[in-house]
Amino acid sequence: MSVSCVELLGSESGVRLSVRDSGVGFDPAKVKQPLICLGFTSMKERVRLVNGRLEVKSSPGQGTEVRVWIPLPGNST
């Protein structure tokens, strides 16, 4: 069974979104499926366009966490 958690936090400097699950996870260094790579590349590009940061943490058997930080106008990353 996979448990998911979505967290959205805002502050004066920006917004943080965290999505994590307890699923099968994966080894990011070994991702070879084009659709998965394309999905992460697309997310990374969209976050970059708003001067944000994207972090993906995962390991086999441990689930996956994706974190996005988007600064509000006038704040840096």
**Residue 31: per-residue pLDDT:** 72
SS3 74: coil
Q: Is residue 77 part of a domain?
A: no
Supply the pLDDT for residue 48: 95
Q: Is residue 43 domain-resident? A: yes
Residue-wise pLDDT tens for the chain (77 aa)? 577 999 999 999 999 999 999 999 888 777 766 556 678 888 999 999 999 999 999 999 999 999 999 999 886 65
Residue 58 in any domain: the answer is yes
Tell which residue, 69, 62, 1, 59, has the closest CA to residue 29.
59
Q: What is the CATH number of the domain that holds 19?
A: 3.30.565.10
Within a domain: residue 76?
no
Is there a domain that residue 60 lies in?
A: yes
Domain containing 33: what range?
A: 4-71
